[in-house]
Structure 1
């Protein structure tokens, strides 16, 4: 759709003259075949500046119409991960300018900026509910208790994973809105597996897992690194060991290992949600 042209001075003067004679907006609109909004805009301008002439503009007129800018904002709001190239095609279909700088400037004017989408682990509704319940349960925990927790988990580092970035159009402070993030799931490929632990005081030992992780290997890792990490971090004897509910973590030999060393254990689901102690 092409940009609308300004009315001639003669037409604007006729609208003002009819208004001064007492005619209403709708009557003027019907008589001169112009939208009511156009009539109202011209009269509003006349009341404010006492003229219907075009006033000097502060700078170069915008090439993109207000309607075109609003259409771009709607498109970006509907699909925040639309690319700039796709927006250029969209703008052409609407009969608007398609220069990259014109489109980005219009989006910036509306508070939308291209940013790299954040990665976030996929969470089901069950996970979200468990997270919320855990937060409510531990909301009033003291800092002293938090300092006694030794967190642990395994992590797989992809050697040949996809490292490409995706950009997203978003407003400030909306980085973690669902529409602006990329959900991730663990997958296969060239990788190395590591076991690590940390607390509020810092990081504990980091162990590379050789071969496929099982309960026996996990028990050996705990035997050699758990208590020493707690000692290095000065957590004391009554620290709380945090691990998830992976089958190898809840295996009989793992439980026996922790019980033999009098380790107080908290269990988490999917590495995020706490459930009652063992």
Structure 2
């Protein structure tokens, strides 16, 4: 069942919580969690009942009407050119609509993302930042899932360590900030509980899936050339270039306490994620017809 079907019953014309990026990794989980808790939801998506598009500001007033809180998950990334301007316009539209609370999904180690954080935090509204980086779920349902299924994770960054974070943890932190008290003004830098490199990550995935998944280092340029050869859109190639050359350089090689501060518990370990994803069939190889 799609997220749109699963939360349809929670939708009303006076929905107080708008979830942008409602079909994405974090937005879908935020919306589903809010629905399970009985909150009214307005889905921020081009396919929603009231369509939302980051590139169509003329439609924002209708989406924000009567909304009291917003989860802001900007796509494709707050680092892309034009994001600061659009976040500025969106926050102004939210203020005009009478929104009271904002929760922004931001990026660790991204100067452009932190510029967007300041726009939200200085808006005069109750604002919280959830600052994250690489998701565990990139390897089960994201851009690198296909590599895992073929048994070869072919990426640059062999020597870089990263505290990969679970998307379900991000969603839980976001929902707490959207619905609870005591989170206004906070920047929750969320990570997993330990640093991992791609080789160790591949070993964990191998154990969870019961088959060998190898990490094969590749030069940065060759990785980008491969994306282009596969027909990846220009914005995807740009973003991967930015992430691997600017963000994934060791600057985020620190474990942070955002999950624990927001939720009072330890973050989910990559091994726990891998076992659950394997049990759900995420790593199964699909045989050709």
Q: Which has the larger radius of gyration?
A: 1
Alignment TM-score, normalising by the size of structure 1? 0.24
Which structure is higher in strand share? Answer: 1
TM-score by length of 2: 0.23
